[in-house]
Amino acid sequence: IALTQDERATRLSYFLWGTMPDDTLFAAADAGALETPEQLAEHARRMLDDPRARATLESFAMSWLELELESAAKDDAVYPEWSTELGHDMETSMRLFVDHVVFDSTGTLAELFTADYAFVNERLAPIYGVEGVTGDDFVRVELDPAERAGLLTHPSLLAMHARTNQSSPVFRGRFVRERLFCQTLPPPPEDLVVVPPEPDPSSSTRTRYEEHRTNPACSGCHQ
């Protein structure tokens, strides 16, 4: 069933702005000027210049990346520097990063996943090993691409998709499979007792989780 002009205006507006069409879009619908791809693209470009489009994108990005860091809890003994304020800063940094890539830079997935820069303030800078940043305002800093590249190495994503006292290759792998590859993972066997290995300062996370890939009961999913 073909959409009416009003329906096209409504879908376009709620997709880009999260609210009803403005007078210009209503007028275009009344005039039958939302018929061709070129006409729709013209209005979409106009709407993307509106601040409401940035707010909608930020909301989408936080949902897509499953970021709710203000409610995240961390073990004080393992992460003594963690705080609600730091979690908020991480989220803000990710919002600024996505916003910059889409609206002020190339707007490509390539930059989203490989960018060698971030936005930090004084609280967040030490996590990156960046010096010279002071105050609450966020500034762009350049990073070593061998250590950080795009959103997958962003502290907000790493902190959210982890356990309270250690990182989690499992949580992060699930995120990549489901959120980036759009695949549905089956649940673990019902008789499986999931007990993650305790943190061991003398062993890497990769080594501790290697058992999951060699144990026949686990290897099917973890491979």
Q: Which of 90, 102, 97, 100 is nearest to 155 (CA)?
A: 90
Angle in degrees, 0-180, between the axes of helices 37-48 and 5-16, rounded to the nearest 10: 30
Contacts of 219 by beta carbon, 8 Å cutoff, 6+ apart: 212, 213
- Angle subtended at Cα 88 by Cα 83 and Cα 91, rounded to the nearest 5 degrees: 130
**pLDDT score at 197:** 67
Please tell me the distance from the alpha carbon of residue 209 to that of residue 192, in angstroms, as a whole number.
16
pTM of the model: 0.86
Work out whether the CA dihedral 211, 213, 216, 221 comes out positive or negative: positive
Contact 128, 118 (CB under 8 A): yes
Q: Which of 169, 100, 156, 92 is nearest to 128 (CA)?
A: 156
**pLDDT score at 214:** 83
Tens-digit pLDDT string for the chain (223 aa)? 999 999 999 999 999 999 999 999 999 999 999 999 999 999 999 999 999 999 999 999 999 999 999 888 999 999 999 999 999 999 999 999 999 999 999 999 999 999 999 999 999 999 999 999 999 999 999 999 999 999 999 999 999 999 999 888 889 999 999 999 999 988 877 877 767 667 777 778 888 778 778 878 777 777 7
CB-count exposure of residue 159 (10 Å: 0-12, 13-18, 19+): buried
**pLDDT score at 81:** 93
